[in-house]
Amino acid sequence: MTEVGIDKIGFFTPNFYLDMNDLAEDRNEDPNKYLIGIGQNKQSVIPSSQDAVAMAANAASKIIDETNRNKIDLIIFGTESGVDNSKSAAIYLQNLLNLNKNARAFEIKQACYGATAGLQMAKEYIKSHPDKKALVIGSDIARYGLKTAGEVTQGGGAIAMLISSNPNIMSISDDSAFHSEDIMDFWRPLKNNVALVDGHYSNDIYEQFFMKTIHDYSDKFNYDLNNLKAITFHLPYTKMGLKALHKILPEFSQTKQNELLTEFESSRVYNKEVGNLYTGSLYLSLLSLIDNSKNLKPGDQVGIFSYGSGAQGEFYIGTLKDGFKDLKRSNSNLKLIEERTRLNVDEYEKVFLDGDLPDGNFEITPNKKARFNFIGVKDLKRQYK
């Protein structure tokens, strides 16, 4: 049977960040609450020129080349930061990157779960069309509002994944355990540009969905969880994944617990610096794991937990392939994160408030550090450059 999975991963986050020490000082909090209690060092600050489409184009342009461009005939854009109520972000992206027009291109939404929904659909498609490729995007801006409890869990960015047969990075299990239920833990009513959240409740539901889906996977498919070398999580803030990991750890030997905790640290290196990017967070954590782990090798199995508020959970297994390490990719990811500019709290607040865009037509100054930008609205049509 043909193996299908992730062949390439491209990541983008804008070039500004807020240091959590600065935020803690301004908000009169103990810095350790943010650094340890929440598990975040920094968060990316997203200028108006980087909407979900522009960030996706910046991420995807890193993995599109002349060998795969015309083979992509499925483009799935997972986002909860959509730019239009009707037209999908995938069509904007297809045009910006000059992708194959003989393609299915559409947007998908279920909070942070959207990219996983796209990935699973793409997997099924490539299984029956192994000579084709699919592009799956997770691109979002996490916004809760100034001086809210959720503020420390903001961030943003995009992940682009090329899904193919005989993938270079990771094959994906045929089986998967999933669970959905109507839960009001986090939502964003139409016209709100910040999320509403019942924070502690959302943490509890996340943990419940994790325990349910990982156990369902092991029970239904007779899978021994001791085969896992690592577990990667959707990371709205990195302590969340650690809290969920601690729920399952007592089921393992001490040696296995240490192994899983060590790999967890590798899986949160990037997320600690970027913050939440909603749909992309789980796959940024996977990228962080494969770029930073010193122990993993081809053939190792990784448990993958996706969560989207509202709520949807899914657990599946990835098997690392021979080409999962790529020094050029990891150096470029590190450079992107390290070369961002630090904003003070006043500067961050200004960029945040600029995110409340006016109605009608307007212009936005492009960010010179990004290849693709949203540059405003003309004749009530979004403009990209």
Catalytic entry in 107, 151, 234, 273? 234
Q: Which is nearer to ligand HMG, 43 or 94 (CB)?
A: 43
Q: Which of residues 280-309 bind ligand HMG (CB under 6 A)?
A: 307-309
Tell me how far CA of residue 206 lies from CA of 40, 78, 181, in angstroms: 18, 19, 12
* Residue 278 in the binding site for ligand HMG (CB under 6 A): yes
Spatial contact of 163 and 126, defined as CB atoms under 8 Å apart = yes
Give the DSSP per-residue string, 234-293: --SSHHHHHHHHHHHGGGS-HHHHHHHHHHHHHHTHHHHHHB--GGGHHHHHHHHHHHH-
Give the position of tokens 């909407």.
Answer: 51
Q: Which of 40, 41, 153, 238 binds ligand HMG (CB under 6 A)?
A: 153
Shortest distance in whole angstroms from residue 220 CB to ligand HMG:
24
Residues in CB range of 111: below 8 A, 6 or more apart:
80, 186, 278, 308, 309, 310, 311, 312
DSSP H/E element including 381? strand 381-384
Q: Which is nearer to ligand HMG, 7 or 151 (CB)?
A: 151
Q: How many residues bind ligand HMG (CB under 6 A)?
A: 31
Is 349 annotated in the active site? no
Helix/strand/coil for 102? coil
Backbone CA torsion sign across 121, 323, 263, 214: positive
Binding marks (x or -) toward ligand HMG, 216..235, rule CB under 6 A?
------------------x-
Shortest distance in whole angstroms from residue 342 CB to ligand HMG:
22
DSSP H/E element including 385? none
Is 200 annotated in the active site? no
Q: Which of 30, 65, 84, 175 binds ligand HMG (CB under 6 A)?
A: 30
Is 112 annotated in the active site? yes
Shortest distance in whole angstroms from residue 326 CB to ligand HMG:
27
Binding marks (x or -) toward ligand HMG, 63..82, rule CB under 6 A?
-----------------x--
Q: Is 214 buried (19+), middle (13-18) or exposed (0-12) by CB count in 10 A? A: buried
Binding marks (x or -) toward ligand HMG, 161..200, rule CB under 6 A?
------------------------xx----------x-xx
Catalytic entry in 107, 112, 263, 273? 112
Spatial contact of 174 and 221, defined as CB atoms under 8 Å apart = no
For 80, phi and psi rounded to 5 degrees? -120, 15
| Residue numbers annotated as active site | 80, 112, 234
Interface contacts to ligand HMG, rule CB under 6 A:
30, 32-33, 36-38, 80, 111-112, 149-150, 152-153, 185-186, 197, 199-200, 202-203, 206, 234, 236-237, 240, 243, 276, 278, 307-309
